[in-house]
Structure formats: structure tokens, C-alpha cells
Amino acid sequence: WIDECCIRQETAAAKALDLYRSFKGWADERGEFCPSSKAMGSQLERMGFRKERPSGGPYRGSTIRRGIGLLAD
């Protein structure tokens, strides 16, 4: 999923919910197991994609992951 649907870049950011929805759709299309959003978040954290909750800007109030973004469809 990361290789097909995401970009790894230090300046990239994406909402955690958007990442999970993308992964869930990708896994469902392939009939693969989809972990809970919490388990996925833990795995992304282990991979170095840090979690933040900005207090301002376009992501204000949302949980985001830094270092990963979603590619446009």
C-alpha cells in the first residue's frame, strides 16, 4: 500500500483518518486483512511516521502523520 498509494517525504503530511481509509480500501479490494486504525497507527509510528495534532493551519484539530502523504488518484 505504501509503495502504491503513498509518498514518503520529510515534508509530507496526511490526516491519519485519510491514511486509514485509503489502506482499508486497498486491503478490501485485495481481500487482505485490515487491522484496526489504532494498530495501523502503531505500525506507522514504528516505521518512523510521527503522529502530531496541530493547533493551527489546515490540519487543525486532526491527528496527522508526518513523513507520509497520499498520492492523488
Q: Are 37 and 20 in contact (CB under 8 A)?
A: yes
Check residue 23 and give its pLDDT: 97
Rounded to whole angstroms, the Cα distance separating 17 from 30 reads 20
pLDDT tens string 32-59? 999 999 999 999 999 999 999 999 988 9
Check residue 10 and give its pLDDT: 95
pLDDT tens string 4-38? 999 999 999 999 999 999 999 999 999 999 999 99
- Enter the C-alpha cell of residue 18: 485519510
Check residue 29 and give its pLDDT: 96
